[in-house]
Amino acid sequence: MWLLTALFNIRRISRWIWVVAFGPPLAYALYGQATYSPLQRWLAEWELDHIGTYYPTLTGCFVAWALTLLWGVPILAVALARLARQPEAAAAATDAAALHYDEAVEDARIDRRVALIMAVIAGAIPLVWGGVTWIGAARMGSLVEVDAGQLERGEAPPGPYLRVLGKPLYERAVATQERGSKEWETTAYVPIVSGEWKPGDVVAAIVVAPSWKLELAARVGGELDASGTIKRGALGIASKLFAQDSVTLAPRVCVVDLGNTPRKDLRLGQVLAALALPLALLTWVVARRRWRTG
């Protein structure tokens, strides 16, 4: 009987509690995968050390699942405990379980609630992701030039959107591989140094891009327009590869995402925010229709 009572009380949990329980873990997992957060980076390093490969999507799913256990399950447990302590709720649940509460009506109500929760989550994810991307891009400002020597002397980057002036060291570049949606994707990291730099000095600026972009630049004469937005926490496994190659990194390395501009991030944020409502409505319609026909 206690199991039936608990199942009945689950149906009575407010939809906002479901959103609070499952929304933040999903949002953080998506944000962590997009920005290569410390947790995502630690898991990636563990996978490469113990498995030999890194699976971004599976890692993001694991992060969402783990955070749901730590965050969402306790919230639902507290909600169920509060409902169980209500005498009238416990009595109603017990009576409903004993009298075989009208399952058709109750199932329809559950279907509507689940469809609504799915729609809210489907709309909240692109809305939050797009809003964060949109606001971040709007605050970046215009392109600022900085000499690699300034960064090597310990100066802070003058802005989040930079053009680093210096010499690319293609011979000291490293590459990492990640499992993409269809095939392996290779990312190259090329140090940018000043004219005064010599082997043994610290490297304070690195350009990151798909390997084919940097290979093309190396073939056409070595000239490289090292401009783009700063990619925070972007080195990850590459820092170990640089250490193995005897490249000394500065305590604070400026990692530039080659070719990325605030305008691209701004448009991405606007598109994601615009998709939030249609995606939520589509999820609601599909879920309701599926359960009605099922």
- Please write the tens of the pLDDT for every residue from 188-216: 888 999 988 888 899 999 988 887 766 65
Question: Which pLDDT score is estimated for 181?
Answer: 45
Question: Which pLDDT score is estimated for 174?
Answer: 87
- Please write the tens of the pLDDT for every residue from 141-150: 788 899 999 9
Single pTM value for the model: 0.52
CA distance 239 to 36: 14
CA distance 74 to 20: 11
CA distance 261 to 273: 19
Closest by CA position to 212, among listed 239, 254, 184, 249: 184
pLDDT averaged over 10-residue windows placed end to end, the chain, 294 residues: 52 73 84 74 70 68 84 81 63 54 60 77 84 80 88 88 88 76 71 89 88 62 75 73 86 86 81 85 75 53
Neighbours of 3 (CB within 10 A): 8
Q: Which two tokens stand for residue 254?
A: 């400026």
* Four-residue CA torsion sign, 67, 71, 72, 77: positive
Q: Which two tokens stand for residue 49?
A: 């050390």
Q: Which two tokens stand for residue 148?
A: 């690699």
Q: Which two tokens stand for residue 220?
A: 């056409």
Question: Which pLDDT score is estimated for 85?
Answer: 67
Question: Which pLDDT score is estimated for 230?
Answer: 83
Question: Which pLDDT score is estimated for 147?
Answer: 92
Question: Which pLDDT score is estimated for 3?
Answer: 47
Q: How far is CA 271 from CA 127, 208, 241, in A?
A: 9, 25, 36
